[in-house]
Amino acid sequence: MKIAKLLFSIATCAALFGCAHPISMSPDLTSVAGESSTRINKPVGYHISDASRALEVTSAGGGGDKVSYFPYRDLDAGFYKALSEVFTNVTKVRDPKDSAAISASGIQLLITPEISTTSSSQSLFTWPPTQFSVMLNCTVVDAKGQNLTSIRVEGKGLAEFDEFKSNFSLAAVRASTDALKKLVKALAESKELRL
């Protein structure tokens, strides 16, 4: 009987500590801004597939715990905002292979992001990550599908216990915001996109 109770206790602890805590990577949109005077006068589209939006990622938190989040879903609105800070017209493209629809919409550039993340924490007692990074690798093609350029940026976010105790997602939010701010700058400075 004692062995059964012990095994049950071990299984309960494993279940409690083995699951991932949900957080959000949604950025602070008010901090993502560009210079309106330097906007590129081109209609652009961007594509995030339904499969990407449904992708849940699990990475390290603190205290041996893990965190889970949906990078593409969480960054979708922020990605649109970043592109809108650089280009005069931004459209979400449902099917990047539908050349007729893309042509009819007047889209000149199609941008597809690839998102990867890392997280960690030195804390042994709290589960939210204190360090988070977001890598955005954006492939840019023209209306005919010809590759023009790739733009890669990395955002980093740090948060200590005093800060994140009221927002467990703080390091992730800061990393996403930082990545999008850097994306705005990189897009605006790209000579290939202004041709």
Q: Are 153 and 183 in contact (CB under 8 A)?
A: yes
Name the average pLDDT for the chain: 90
For domain 20-194, is the CATH number 1.10.1060? no
Q: pLDDT tens digits, residue range 128-166?
A: 999 999 999 999 999 888 999 999 999 999 999 888 888
What pLDDT does residue 18 have? 57
Sign of CA dihedral 93, 72, 173, 137: negative
How far is Cα 69 from Cα 86, in angstroms, rounded to an integer?
27
